[in-house]
């Protein structure tokens, strides 16, 4: 069975399929391990329609689990390996998870979470999984369940995470038909069997997991980086002649800041496409990355809830710097105000989308949140704000919940953050609103300094004087806090609530 990978195992069994540089599987081995794991789960009473979780750092077994769930009709529920037992158990309980696979470093937390959630099966991946599968037959299973897709939990800004399924991934359809659809989608991104893909982001996020799994389902080669490191990224791109890799802006910021001598050491000419997602990229950084890597960068807007909505190539972006592109063929975008009226070009409002296919926004088991994200005519929003120019290119302003209203004027943190990142002392930055008796909210900035700089009143005055020359006065932060490390989700998004909550 095992859908498309059985085909690749038959055509070129000894060819490399997936590697994390510690564990490497060819197509024969990958197909055999997926078959064994599917049979093992079936023996434990876990089969199509059930949900399994993984809580581990990036590794080859993560890809095996994702394929097994997809092809076995089960839903994989990835869990952030930074989570506490309470946080992980909530996801497991909410999703009704029947089996948890954990990395060796996450075993203690995982077992505690499984106990709290009433999950009866816990397996440690790596050697533990290999031992569990050793006596299991690797013959093709006799059953043919429908293809299934993962369930992700949105990080959100308030309350507990909400479950959502990536609606662009086919579900409850025959495996071969689903893989054919994925090949079409991959082809639109320039991926085919000749692709060599490098996963650099955490696999518990939708984008990296979807791209990694798609790479294998279309018969291409997958390399997995356990954790992002800018120089290691360059090393792997050169060593394995990487053609594709999805990244987030903070990765490019860190690559851009490598010493020139380090950048010059590595050949990145094999790259064909490096889409970036999750957050706006500083315009000056993107210019320098295109100068260095060539026109291989592309921006995209979307989310785990719905997939990709807009795209823009490097060539287009050079004409429309800062844009996240035009909607792909299957979406229409409107900018809507609080009264439900369409905003004119250049005016900022809430981004609403209409799908021309079956894609829709749904939060599992939460009809209230689903309804709140929709207008009556089936338009839906992710809560982001932005505008369209006269040519239909979209620009992001910010999350609606992150917008600052000071004296009745809307201020968008992302614009200020991208400006501050150009200051030579700033390594990372977060901008958010704090209470103000006079203005309602004041603009507050939290900064992580680059090595060699120390927090001081003189530095604060220098940064504020510098930014006053670059943005309107009402957007200039009233004050700066300094932090050793700013809280970011591993997908690159700022966790502003951690910084903001203490003021509210």
Q: How many CB atoms lie within 10 A of CB 322?
A: 17
Q: Which residues, other chains included, contact 66 with Cβ-Cβ below 8 Å and sequence gap of 6+?
A: 76, 150, 203, 209, 212, 213
The residue ranges of DSSP E strands in 103-228, in sequence order, are: 121-124, 151-154, 162-165, 196-199, 221-224
Do both 71 and 193 map to the same domain?
Answer: yes
Domain boundary among the residues 349, 368, 399 is at 399
Positions of the chain with pLDDT under 70: 1-3, 155-160, 165-173, 278-280, 304, 358, 398-401, 408, 438, 489-493
Strands 297-303, 121-124: pairing kind: unpaired
Do both 18 and 91 map to the same domain?
Answer: yes
Instruction: Give pLDDT, residue 169.
Output: 46
Q: Is residue 174 part of a domain?
A: yes
Identify the sign of the CA torsion 425, 431, 436, 438: positive
Instruction: Give pLDDT, residue 278.
Output: 66
Do both 368 and 356 map to the same domain?
Answer: yes
Q: Is residue 63 part of a domain?
A: yes
Nearest-angstrom CA–CA distance, 252 and 275: 11
Q: Is residue 222 part of a domain?
A: no
Contact assessment for residue 79 and residue 91, using Cβ atoms and an 8 Å cutoff: yes
Do both 121 and 105 map to the same domain?
Answer: yes
Say which CATH number the domain at 12 has.
3.40.50.12780
Q: Is residue 270 part of a domain?
A: yes
Do both 213 and 235 map to the same domain?
Answer: no
Nearest-angstrom CA–CA distance, 263 and 254: 11
Closest CA to 219 of 251, 245, 187: 187
Do both 252 and 336 map to the same domain?
Answer: yes
Instruction: Give pLDDT, residue 1.
Output: 43
Do both 421 and 495 map to the same domain?
Answer: yes
Q: Is residue 159 part of a domain?
A: no
Instruction: Give pLDDT, residue 158.
Output: 47
Instruction: Give pLDDT, residue 372.
Output: 84
Instruction: Give pLDDT, residue 127.
Output: 95
Instruction: Give pLDDT, residue 291.
Output: 96
Do both 45 and 170 map to the same domain?
Answer: yes
Contact assessment for residue 418 and residue 431, using Cβ atoms and an 8 Å cutoff: no
Instruction: Give pLDDT, residue 403.
Output: 74
Q: Is residue 287 part of a domain?
A: yes
Do both 198 and 340 map to the same domain?
Answer: no
Question: Residue 376: which domain range?
Answer: 228-399
Instruction: Tell me which long-range contacts 331-336 makes (C-beta under 8 A, separation of at least 24).
Output: 331/355, 331/356, 331/359, 332/356, 333/309, 333/388, 333/394, 334/379, 335/386, 335/387, 335/388, 336/375, 336/379, 336/381
pTM of the full predicted structure? 0.80
Say which CATH number the domain at 451 has.
3.30.300.30
Do both 212 and 260 map to the same domain?
Answer: no
Do both 394 and 420 map to the same domain?
Answer: no
Domain boundary among the residues 365, 399, 433 is at 399
Instruction: Give pLDDT, residue 279.
Output: 67
Do both 425 and 375 map to the same domain?
Answer: no
Instruction: Give pLDDT, residue 134.
Output: 97
Domain boundary among the residues 174, 195, 217 is at 217
Instruction: Give pLDDT, residue 161.
Output: 72
Q: Is residue 374 part of a domain?
A: yes
Nearest-angstrom CA–CA distance, 20 and 24: 7
Q: Is residue 150 part of a domain?
A: yes
Contact assessment for residue 287 and residue 146, using Cβ atoms and an 8 Å cutoff: no
Nearest-angstrom CA–CA distance, 136 and 44: 12
Domain tally for the chain? 3
């Amino acid at each position: 069975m095992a859908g498309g990978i059985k085909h690749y195992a038959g055509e070129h069994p000894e060819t490399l399929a997936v590697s994390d540089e510690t564990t490497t599987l060819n197509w024969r081995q990958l197909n055999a391990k997926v078959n064994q794991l599917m049979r093992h789960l079936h023996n434990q009473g876990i089969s199509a329609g059930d949900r399994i979780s993984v809580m581990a750092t990036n590794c080859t077994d993560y890809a095996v689990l994702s394929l097994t769930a997809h092809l076995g009709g089960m839903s994989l529920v990835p869990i952030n390996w930074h989570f506490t037992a309470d946080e992980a158990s909530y996801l497991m309980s909410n999703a009704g998870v029947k089996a948890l696979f954990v990395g060796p470093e996450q075993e203690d937390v995982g077992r505690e979470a499984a106990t709290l959630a009433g999950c009866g099966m816990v397996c440690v991946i790596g050697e533990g999984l290999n031992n569990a599968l050793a006596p299991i037959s690797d013959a093709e299973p006799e059953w043919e369940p429908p293809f299934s897709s993962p369930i992700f939990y949105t990080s959100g800004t308030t309350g507990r995470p909400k479950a959502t399924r990536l609606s662009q991934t086919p579900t409850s359809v025959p495996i071969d038909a689903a893989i054919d659809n994925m090949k079409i989608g991959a082809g639109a991104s320039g991926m085919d069997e000749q692709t060599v893909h490098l996963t650099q982001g955490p696999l518990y996020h939708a984008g990296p997991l979807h791209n990694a799994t798609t790479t294998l389902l279309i018969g291409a080669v997958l390399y997995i980086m356990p954790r992002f490191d800018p120089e290691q990224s360059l090393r792997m791109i050169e060593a394995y002649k990487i053609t594709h890799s999805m990244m987030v802006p903070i990765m490019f910021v860190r690559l851009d800041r490598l010493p020139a001598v380090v950048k010059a050491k590595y050949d990145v000419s094999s790259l064909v496409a490096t889409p970036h997602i999750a957050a706006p990229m500083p315009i000056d950084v993107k210019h320098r990355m295109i100068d260095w890597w060539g026109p291989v960068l592309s921006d995209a807007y979307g989310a785990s809830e719905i997939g990709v909505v807009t795209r823009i190539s490097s060539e287009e972006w050079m004409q429309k710097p800062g844009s996240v592109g035009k909607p792909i063929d299957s979406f229409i975008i409107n900018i809507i105000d609080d009264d439900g009226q369409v905003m004119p070009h250049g005016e900022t409002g809430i981004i609403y989308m209409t799908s021309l296919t079956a894609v829709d926004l749904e939060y599992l088991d939460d009809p209230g949140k689903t309804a709140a994200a929709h207008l009556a005519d089936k338009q839906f929003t992710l809560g982001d704000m932005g505008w369209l120019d006269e040519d239909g290119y979209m620009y992001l302003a910010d999350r609606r919940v992150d917008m600052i209203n000071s004296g009745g004027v809307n201020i968008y943190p992302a614009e200020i953050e991208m400006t501050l990142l150009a200051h030579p002392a700033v390594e990372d930055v977060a901008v958010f609103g704090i209470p103000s008796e006079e203005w309602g909210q004041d603009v507050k900035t939290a900064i992580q300094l680059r090595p060699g700089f120390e927090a001081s009143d003189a530095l604060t005055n220098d940064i504020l004087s510098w930014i006053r020359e670059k943005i309107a006065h009402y957007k200039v932060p009233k004050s700066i806090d300094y932090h050793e490390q700013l809280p970011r989700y591993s997908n690159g998004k700022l966790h502003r609530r951690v910084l903001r909550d203490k003021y509210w």
